[in-house]
Chain A
Amino acid sequence: MELTGAEITVRCLQEEGVEFAFGYPGGAVLYIYDEIFKQNKVKHVLVRHEQAAVHAADGYARATGRVGVALVTSGPGATNAVTGIATAYMDSIPLVIISGQVPTAAIGLDAFQEVDMVGITRPCVKHNFLVKDVRDLASTIKKAFHIASTGRPGPVVVDIPKDITTHKTKFDYPKTVSLRSYNPVTKGHPMQIKKAVKMLLSAKRPFVYSGGGVILSEASAQLAKLVKLLGVPCTSTLMGLGGYPETDRLHLGMLGMHGTYEANMAMQHCDVLLAVGARFDDRVIGNTEHFSQEKRQIIHIDIDPSSIAKRVKVDVPIVGDVGQVLDELIKQLQASKDKGDQTALKTWWTQIELWRSKNCLNYDRSSKIIKPQFVIEKLYEVTKGDAYVTSDVGQHQMWAAQYYKFDKPRRWINSGGLGTMGFGLPAAMGVKMAFPKANVACVTGEASIQMCIQELSTCKQYHLPIKVITLNNRYMGMVRQWQQFFHGNRYSESYMDALPDFVKLAEAYGHVGMRIEKPSDVEDALKEAFKLKDQLVFMDFLTDQTENVFPMVPGGKGLSEMILAEEL
């Protein structure tokens, strides 16, 4: 029996076991939506803007480790999705985005709602396809899922012209894919691993720097095993939080521009650095020249060869899947008689504890105005550290990263690479769809939330009782902070004037709104909100307008050139 392209598209999603497709219908995808209507295996989630469809699929993917799926129409549907696609690309999140396209015969003729989606997304996808023949459709979708989820994951776009969705062919979903040009290496080179073991055991001041690769590779157990086996200090990047339990003493907190004093100092002053699924980006190590001034040997494990030696020189590059390489490292370390220089390690720890005693994340706890850090600390307590926390971008994101201690992977969901405001709420929808019983909090600011606030409507339709934690300081806080430090207190266009009444707004969407103005009300309000199990609660915390994120490595400066709160 022959099926239409539209039927095939939906059948492919079913074959892949796709639970949810986040999307928005339109002319070019009408036949696909007709097939969605006729079945109930793939549940469609209707968002209010295509950007949110991709963020929601992204949040789902980050929380579950599975491929997220978004479905959008041609033209504006496709271009609206681009921010979401770029967000997923920068953070290596596996997505398949199906976009409608004008009929094959109309391509290139400036047809209504035509845009060159393959061209527009080329720099921000792992790969993309334009399907020109219905007989290629099933194998293309299979390839898309394969490419998105293997190697270094990433978003893949499949652009399907409308006529292809009506053409018929025999449906046969391929069981396997083989691409002569795409075979990611997963097993690390044995010689390199041997060298790494030797180097780690010879270290006087070893340090483990772990990133999003640990989460993507599901390698948290191996990372914890390795770090504990060696008894060495470790840190996580913004993308790696939860990859190693943050409440453990061996963990020094996040590093980078707003990392802890101890993590940044250890990063700068270690003599052997094991980088695990992290890419030495500018927000992590700051100025590369300053970073290289201190002599240290670097072992770098990454599945993407182009991430190695991109910003810093590496002594032992190991291309492979983080989990598999760590397994091998652990095996060899356990077999080794050499246990490393324990005396040196003790001295190193003494130094680290000294750095740690600076207590760099301290803040004014007696404030009469709500301190944003306090809200996050209370959120951590009330949710017992076990919530899924999504965030938008800015100061609130950094405070959430600093003050919520993530002990498990896939709990901290934020746009690290692209820094996309508007990510938090739709991402939380994806998480909540995946885990309806879990506590899901979206930590946001009054500026970020307004970039995708229309999704409060989607939350109502699908009964997604997310807790929106808005740290409302009436400023684009991070912009204000930079203007204060580097632009002579000239707060150009960073004041959020004419804010809506968020409580009324939440109520208008059919949710519960709360405004919290006093520090003494914070905890009770949070408790009350999380008790409302089946309600979305929009919590508007009026926080200190002048609070800044510390420590801070100013742009272009070195890691150890931090500004600390106490220094101001």
Chain B
Amino acid sequence: MPMRHIISVLLENESGALSRVSGLFSARGYNIESLTVAPTEDASMSRMTIVTRGSEDVIEQIVKQLNKLIEVVKVVDLNEGSHLERELMLVKVKAQGESREELKRMSDIFRGRIIDVADSTYTIELTGNGAKLDAFLEALDTSVILETVRTGACGIGRGERILKV
């Protein structure tokens, strides 16, 4: 079974850099479960988190091929050590009558926050690892879910492990 890996990439914050990475994955047939990218505290650099699946050999190739891209500065497979992973999800749910209270409770249990309230809807914000977000969606009655949007995972090494130039 191909293992799930979470790979962090530091790359030059230049237009086209993202397409080089996504192009690499599609050209070589690597799987992307999620990909997030945003500038870092150093505006000249972006940090990307890619969640992928593959055998050890494939992951090794992915890391090598990423490193080969001229604009990529550093690549780390976070699975090589302990790490943290978080994802943000916004869920818009149908919230009318009695279910309003129920949804508020459910949101609290999962440490979510209701960030928008309308006459018939709530928008709930939830962070956690992917499994927790999945669990929240499963806990909801599917008929109340109007819309979901997820950022994809971002990850960071625990403790002294630092990814920096």
Contact = CB atoms under 8 A, between A and B. Distances in A.
* Pair from one complex: yes
B20 A122 contact: yes
Nearest to B20: A122
Nearest to A124: B27
Given A180-B165, A181-B72, A310-B61, A305 B19 contact: no
Contact of A122 (B19, B64, B72, B165): B19
A304 B61 CA distance: 12
Contacts of B57: 309
Contacts of B71: 181
Nearest to B74: A181
A181 B19 contact: no
Interface of B is mostly: helix
A306 B16 contact: no
B73 interface: yes
Interface residues of B, number: 19
A215 B143 CA distance: 66
B70 A306 contact: no
Interface size on A, as a range, is: 10 to 19
Interface string A157-199: 0000000000000000000000111100000000000000000
A130 interface: yes
Given A180-B165, A181-B11, A123 B27 contact: yes
B146 to A, nearest CB: 35
Contacts of A147: 70
A127 interface: yes
A305 B70 contact: no
A310 B70 CA distance: 20
Contact of A130 (B16, B27, B72): B16
A306 B27 CA distance: 15
Interface in B90-109: none
Contacts of B68: 304-306
Given A306-B61, A309-B60, A122 B23 contact: yes
A304 B70 CA distance: 13
B40 to A, nearest CB: 14
B16 A123 contact: no
Contact of A306 (B19, B23, B65): B65
Contact of B23 (A123, A181, A182, A305): A123
16 contacts: A119-B19, A122-B16, A122-B20, A123-B23, A123-B27, A127-B70, A179-B70, A181-B11, A181-B71, A182-B70, A304-B68, A306-B61, A306-B64, A306-B68, A309-B60, A310-B61
Interface of B: 11-12, 16, 19-20, 23, 27, 57, 60-61, 64-65, 67-68, 70-73, 165
